Structure 1
Amino acid sequence: MTVELLVKNKEGRIWDISGTATDITWKTSRSGKPSTLELTLADSGIYQHPKFGISNGDIVQFSKDGINVFYGFVFSIDTGVDQEIKLTAYDQIRYLLGNGSYVLQDITVSELIEKIAKDYGLQTGVLDTAQYKIPSLIEDDKKLLDIIMGAIGSELQNKGRLLAFYDDFGKLTLRSSEKMLLKVILGAGHYLYDYSLKRSIDEETYNTIFLYKDNEETGKRDIFPVTDKENVERWGILHLYQKADDKANAAQIQEKASNLLKLYNREKLSLSVQAIGDMRVRAGNYIYVLLDEFETQLVLVDQCSHKISGGEHTMSLDIKVV
């Protein structure tokens, strides 16, 4: 195992702290959070330069076995009598937790990310082209990350495409699902050593979709329903009632309703696993899991936490079965 940890301060000094880091934890989440790097350093270590110092805002780079893992900025420094320094760093997405206001028309999520990044001085990398043009995007005093995730949700609801948004070693990145597939298989006796599985229809399961739109000509509300009668008999009516886009026509609304039914009309399988670490795996990736409860499944990593301690690398994954 080869670990490289570098700190770059505002004066241009670069410190290699690989040898003094005792615990390293890298956490990623598929939505709503920046990735986090937490690490513990031995304060006043024997290899430490007398001018060594770390300040909030310093850049932290983390690589393992030649894989560039994390590029971010120090946001928290904890010290105490135990002669240890505990650092918390976040990637660029941390700067999207501030609020902003946008009024835009006919814009894709790819274009939206480009605009927000330019407005706030953030770096972008690969941004796969989104297919859905949001007719009217009006967001006032809302968290920038929530605005982006809402636009990603529009792509899923209207085009059935799930896009992954994350910071790839210092560059905001948007990738289609096929680009997030890893040839990683976890199973009992094959890297995986513990798991728990939950089956539920309690959250985000709908077998009936009602999209509605107010008809200005008739003065009435038009309803566009789609339902799965078999699942209604099995579970009862679990319905989603949602306003359609004002500029959408009947065919577009019906298509969206059908996409929503495909997305939500199923039992949710949630899986948590503990496994030997593979640094390629992050939230947003698709991997394969083989368990006795079901055949080999393609699953979506919702949250991922890697821990390197004492020469061991493990990972904890919260997974959605797709």
Structure 2
Amino acid sequence: MKRIGVLNVGGDCPGLNAVIRALIVKGAHEDVEIVGVYDGFMGLVEDKMSILAKEHVSGRLPEGGFVLGSSKYDPTANPDDLKKLKDNFSKYQITSLILLTGHTGTNIALKLADEGIPSVIIPATIDNDLNWTDLSIGYLTALQTVSDALDRLHSTASAGHRVIVVEVGGDESGWLAIIGGMVGGADYIITPEVEFVPTQLIDNIKRRYDIGRRFSLVVVEEKVKLPEEIKNIVKDPKIRSYMRPSELVAEYINENFENIECRTVNLDYLQRAGTPTSFDRYLAFKFGFSAIEAVKKGKTNIALGLKGFDVVETPYNKEILKNKEVDIEIYKMAELFF
């Protein structure tokens, strides 16, 4: 019997419990035992693991979060912890680790592979910024959260004649900002893939007010690099260092309009929460089954990805650490609605 250890490394996302369910069901069919590792790699270091059965995930399918917990801890940063991890990996006779993760876990997986600890990656991140897969588990649910939030904010922005600056996730890619902003009816989108020209934002808002559209929704990606003109709107560098990009953009808007009320909304952890969409659950099942099949065949040190509707395998290499940016043509689609 083969035995795999499953863990979430990095931030949680909707659909993780569905992956566990798929691993347990497929594992039982293929005579593969599933070991749940609690709180990311901390569980392997601190010996916090348990054999999982169907009852552990009964009723969990529609839940967000993750029944095993998660963390970003990197065991390769501490030689003593790395040794403990190796000892527990050997003690429990684990064949391979299954990592539900984005860039954080991918980076660790490559380092552990060099240390003789094999793994298989299932892409799970709301950022959808992994270059070996079209979609990651959790992205579509987070995208729906962004779209729903913008739908709701339209009414209050319109009623109060406000500008509302909405900050969304994405790490350093605009998959949530651009597509979420477009389908949610954003009036301007600020994202890492496109140079931000502050005067264009101001002109856009002014034009809307001049034609009677006395409100605007501005979407800002969480790690966008803002020009000095925006950052320097707050003179105190200490205060500025604590401000979110959305807050700096809002300050800039307030400075350029006397009679327009500007407010901010940061969707933050709301994007990681909630019931996974149907397709995120389907992805979870598809990736979970494929991971079991790969381990059963002796395949490890691979990243599973979706290309079209097919699961593909990418061997570990430095290229998979690169960021997947949004095609500029998608932004141009969104821009036509500004």
TM range (shorter): under 0.3
Calculate the TM-score normalised by the size of structure 1. 0.24
Q: Which structure shows the bigger proportion of residues in helix conformation? A: 2
Q: Which structure shows the bigger proportion of residues in strand conformation? A: 1
